[in-house]
Each structure stands twice: as C-alpha cells, then as structure tokens.
C-alpha cells in the first residue's frame, strides 16, 4: 500500500512539517512494507530513498490543486495534514477534496486546529470551513476531545471522527551532557519554554514566575529556547523587545537565557534533557494539540501548563499541574513544590512515564495503520 501525505515538510520551519516527519518515522518503525510519499510544499527538500519519497510541488500562494492531484495518482490513500494558515480558507482545498472523492481515492484529513465561531476573528468562516472539508473526507483525525466535540456539534458523524492523540517522541538524554552541549549552567535548576516566541505563549508570565521562585529556590534559571518565526509580525517583534526590557526591570539578566534563535531538530532532545520543569503558560482559545507539550513529556519532564483546551491531556498525568491562565503565583508555587516535595515530584514522573509510553509515536503510527486498513507489520 502507498500513502501520500499532503503537508509541509522539512526543512521548512513549520510545526506541521515536524509533526508529519515524526509520524512517518513512527510508521517506518512499525511497518516495513508501507510506501510513503510526501507531496510537500516547495520549501521542503526533495528526497527519494527506498520506499520513502518527498516531492516538493505546490505553493500555498498559488493554485495548488492540480500539482497535488497529479502527484497523488499513484497513492492508495491520500492523507492531508490541515492547518488554516497553510491551505487558506478559499475554494482550493474543498476543490481538492472533491476531486479526490470523484476519483475514488481514499482520503483522510487530520484537522490540527479547530476554531469555534465565537473565538474567531472571522466569525463562522473558520468553523464552516472545517465542517466542509470534514464532510468531504472519508475519515477525520483529531487529537483532542474538545476538537471532537466541536465536529460532532457541526454534524460530522461520530463514526467518521477518529480521536488519535498527538504522538510523543521518547528521549532519555543525560542532563549533564545536554547542558554541556548547549553551553547551559552545569548546576542549578532550569525552567524551560520552547518554540517560536509569541505573545500568547506567555514568556512574560514565566519571567514573573522566575522572580517569585528564586525567593525560595537557589540557583534557578529560565531558558527560553526559541526565537521569532520567519513570518513574525511587528507585534511579535515588539514582544521580544518587551521581554528584554522586562528582564532588566526584574533584575533577572543573569537568570534568563534567551538566545532568540531557531533550534534545529537535532538539538531538541538536549533542550528538554537539560531542563528540570517545562512551563507552558499559554493563553490560547484554539482547539489544537501542543507539540511542545509532547516533546516535554517525551523527555519525561514535569509540565506546568494553563488550564486551556490545548493542554487538556495533562489531566491524564496530574490535573494539579493545570493552572488558570496568568496565575503567576499558582505556577510559582507548583514549581517550588516539584523542586522541594520529592514524593509529589515522583508521583508526577511516574505518571508521565506511563502516559508517554501509551502515546509514543510507534503506538500512534499503529493506530494510523489500522485506519488505513493495514495490519501492523504488514
């Protein structure tokens, strides 16, 4: 069987590109016969290696329907990785889905983000668009219960919707080696924020948390491992300037490590391996899973996150690690407890270990294979 993934792909700096790469590696671990083709946006690198092929052929700023259709003709299953910003909200993606349906191609779409009308700047546009493409696909994958609930409200049949968690890459990199590689402090505690720097991710909240934590925990640092996205807005650029200014105001210049740059994939296990606790104090209304959350638990690191849909999975580890958005003192006290209460810390670590293995990429890949109609190992 041959599966064609319509997606962004590496080395493009895009969360969907990284997600698709992790999924493919998981599939290759559990099935040696599956043929995989990535019908990618043009920023990807072409590749042909055995049963794996990457064909960069389309551009989000052009009519991508025909280039994609011509490159999925040899596939048994076409699996689209959807995110609003990639495909737009015009007629192109529905037209692609309609053409796949007319050609009797089996189509699956993973909807990475669901944006209800009441929280969208465009009103009902986003919600109606997701409904339309979900209706056209043969099967729909979502990562979160809250996403599934919205699609059901929109009238998508329950038997068409498949709730498959975002996969998790397991890593066990030594902390000392990680810190040495990244030139981080050898001793002390490191709080981590990871990924593109955007206001809704709350790095400013983490600065306030650090100020409060250091009153009770000696030698503690905040590592903001990321920088501006290639398409960063003026608001996002101004936010980085604000973070620099706020760091000085709080007299945290010697406790905040903020290189403001993109880290390649090969550094990611070491970034999480170097940390002690991962902070995700986001304020975000979208229903979408978090890649950073899964990287953190994959490295078996305690996560403290905002109590929002994006991090609803954290309840499967410890609901007490979910705090109200902007609850600076609540986050700080939870950090302090994890550092000082070893019994509580071990409880969190044990449950993190169980959950990360339950949703590891090979497990998630096997669930995809079942959806494609392939027995594991086929």
pLDDT tens digits, residue range 242-286?
999 999 999 999 999 999 998 988 999 999 999 999 999 999 888
Could you tell me the pLDDT band of residue 377, with boundaries at 50, 70 and 90? very low
- Where do we find the tokens 């007490």? 320
pLDDT of residue 13: 85
> By the 8 A CB rule, do 327 and 335 touch?
no
pLDDT of residue 378: 40
Give the C-alpha separation, 289 to 88, whole Å: 20
pLDDT of residue 231: 85
pLDDT of residue 376: 56
> By the 8 A CB rule, do 113 and 133 touch?
no
**Strand (E) or helix (H) holding 306:** strand 303-306
pLDDT digits (tens, 9 = 90+) for 81-105: 999 999 999 999 999 999 999 998 9
The candidate with the shortest Cα–Cα distance to 52, out of 110, 108, 2, 109, is 2
pLDDT of residue 265: 84
Give 194-257 as a DSSP string: ESS--GGG-HHHHHHHHHHHTTTSSSEEEEEE----TT--HHHHHHHHHHHHHHHHTT-TTTEE
pLDDT of residue 375: 64
> By the 8 A CB rule, do 130 and 117 touch?
no
Q: What is the average pLDDT score of the chain?
A: 96
Determine the 3-state secondary structure of 3 from DSSP: strand
Q: Kindly tell me if the per-residue pLDDT of 305 is higher than 80.
A: yes
Mean pLDDT of 192-204: 96
pLDDT of residue 262: 87
Phi/psi class of residue 216: alpha, beta or left (left: φ > 0; alpha: ψ in -120 to 50)?
Answer: alpha
> By the 8 A CB rule, do 33 and 2 touch?
no
Per cent of the chain over pLDDT 70 is: 99
What residue ranges define each of the domains in the chain, with the CATH number in brackets? 2-167+360-372 (3.40.50.2000), 175-358 (3.40.50.2000)
Question: Considering Cα of 325, then 329, then 330, then 333, what sign does the dihedral take?
Answer: positive
- Where do we find the tokens 């991962």? 278
């Amino acid at each position: 069987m041959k599966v064609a993934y319509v997606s962004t792909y590496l080395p493009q700096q895009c969360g969907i590109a990284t997600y698709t790469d992790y999924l493919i590696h998981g599939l290759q671990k559990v099935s040696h016969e599956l043929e995989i083709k990535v019908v990618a946006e043009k920023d990807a690198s072409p590749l042909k290696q055995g049963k794996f092929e990457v064909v960069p052929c389309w551009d989000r700023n052009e009519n991508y329907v025909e280039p994609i259709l011509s490159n999925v003709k040899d596939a048994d299953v076409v699996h689209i990785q959807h995110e609003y910003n990639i495909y737009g909200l015009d007629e192109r993606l529905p037209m692609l889905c309609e053409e796949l349906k007319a050609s009797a191609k089996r189509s699956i779409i993973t909807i990475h983000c669901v944006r209800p009308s009441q929280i969208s700047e465009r009103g009902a546009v986003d919600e109606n668009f997701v409904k339309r493409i979900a209706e056209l696909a043969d099967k729909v994958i979502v990562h979160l219960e809250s996403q599934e609930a919205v699609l059901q409200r929109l009238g998508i049949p329950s038997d068409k919707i498949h709730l498959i968690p975002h996969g998790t890459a397991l890593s066990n990199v030594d902390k000392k080696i990680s810190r040495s590689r990244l030139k981080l402090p050898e001793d002390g505690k490191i709080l981590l924020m990871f990924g593109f720097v955007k206001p809704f991710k709350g790095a400013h909240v983490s600065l306030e948390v650090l100020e409060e934590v250091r009153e009770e925990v000696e030698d503690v640092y905040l590592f903001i491992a990321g920088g501006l996205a290639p398409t960063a807005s003026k608001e996002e650029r101004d936010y980085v300037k604000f973070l620099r200014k706020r760091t000085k105001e709080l007299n945290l210049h010697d406790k905040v490590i903020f290189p403001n740059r993109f880290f390649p994939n090969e550094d990611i296990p070491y970034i999480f391996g170097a940390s002690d606790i991962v902070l995700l104090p986001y304020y975000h209304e979208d229903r979408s899973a978090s890649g950073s959350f899964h990287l953190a638990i994959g490295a078996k690191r305690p996560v403290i996150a905002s109590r929002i849909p994006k991090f609803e999975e954290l309840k499967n580890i410890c609901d007490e690690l979910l705090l109200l958005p902007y609850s600076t003192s609540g986050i700080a006290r939870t950090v302090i407890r994890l550092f000082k209460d070893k019994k509580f810390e071990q409880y969190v670590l044990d449950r993190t270990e169980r959950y990360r293995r339950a949703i590891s990429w090979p497990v998630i890949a096997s669930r995809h294979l079942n959806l494609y109609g392939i027995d594991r190992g086929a």
